[in-house]
Structure 1
């Protein structure tokens, strides 16, 4: 209930600024440096792997901002596990929570159907689109329930939404509203984690300094992905 009230208050605050923010967002899309995707699909494994991990999600899963496939989140996670994880990665730039099932479905039968761990990197685009919290929660819950029903999946891990309120390329006023919406959507993920027994939510502990971000001022750099992967590995290694 409180989250809905915060969302209503956010909309009231947003309304007077909407024309300016819409114009600013449109011009920002034209100005921001376009960086390539390096991990729309990756499979990393060796003969010693004892756990299979699926990484799926938006541009952070797609490796935007990394300098190569070897420095993406998935590759760094595989590296952090010292080969104990077989990592399968599916990423798509611009993805919202509603499109997660489609991304997974279109990957089959190219990937296995069972996973020990699932990492979902999602939410930034839902912040940019100001997806209503109830809609976001419903769409994300429907996707998570796919893995809740699989005996093989022991954990679904969703870290906090990418720090849209810290993106250097975003103007301060827009960062403020994105930060409010990030807070709202993170609360929805946290609420889900209290009701779905396999779901774990984690708030990032890393510092979002300038070095964390790539040259576009939005996506993680090689260092950013390394920090994210190491922190995620510590949480899910089990």
Structure 2
């Protein structure tokens, strides 16, 4: 909304409209700038999850899991990585496949897809994995990165990860449902959501071109307690919900067997 006015959410039904998401933000630029600065100044800065960033779930024939990405790979919002995305994904996979899981997290708070390509992909390629979960895109949306630049980075990541792990299952998470982030004021909230959908549409187009690579659907409404104290990152409970939703959905659709 403008100051004192009513802001109407942009339509998500048109792909051409999504492609113009950065242009759509221009009329709101002065307000977005003020709101963005205030958000960064007033939002609590939560730490990464404590070390170690690796662990295991007991069981036979342990599969190797890599969680690669931004603050959600870094476990921001949870005390430990076991309580964050890696540990919860490991428990879901272990329960589904009756196997052990050895998991590793790699990433950084604030990372974009370009950061992963330049700084974290070489490390990710040093080892091989059976399952790779890629959580990236939120900061690309926040930075209003272009659809084409984001798409190039996603393609680079998936090409390299598939080449290094030819038999692995690769899963990319959907981008956050920013329109449900009560922390974000409008018009920042809806412009951010519009642009995130632009980026996600491109990511889905690219993911569909890679055999054995899947992407989670948009998340259901966030539950009470999903968010950490900063109202932006998941809490330990939120990471548990996220991991269960992502793995359950993939199994129900027959994407994982």
TM-score (norm: length of structure 1)? 0.88
- Gap runs ≥5 in structure 2: 1-13
**Which residue of 1 is the match for residue 115 of structure 2?**
99
- Gap runs ≥5 in structure 1: none
Q: What secondary structure sits across from 1:61 in the alignment?
A: coil
Q: What is the number of equivalent residue pairs in this alignment?
A: 233
Compute the displacement of 1:106 (Å): 4.4
Compute the displacement of 1:185 (Å): 1.1
**Which residue of 1 is the match for residue 199 of structure 2?**
185
- Describe the shift of the 1:151–1:210 C-alpha distance in structure 2 as closer, same or farther (beyond 3 A): closer
Return the alpha-carbon distance in structure 2 between the equivalents of residues 195 and 40 of structure 1: 36
Matched, 1:55 2:71: no
RMSD after superposition: 2.2
Compute the displacement of 1:233 (Å): 3.2
Compute the displacement of 1:33 (Å): 0.5
TM-score (norm: length of structure 2)? 0.82
Return the alpha-carbon distance in structure 2 between the equivalents of residues 7 and 78 of structure 1: 36
Matched, 1:142 2:156: yes
Q: Higher helix proportion, which one?
A: 1
Return the alpha-carbon distance in structure 2 between the equivalents of residues 224 and 67 of structure 1: 13
**Which residue of 1 is the match for residue 55 of structure 2?**
44
**Which residue of 1 is the match for residue 144 of structure 2?**
130
Return the alpha-carbon distance in structure 2 between the equivalents of residues 40 and 51 of structure 1: 21
Deviations 1:175-227 (A, max 9, x none): 10111111111111110122111321111443213421111110011111001
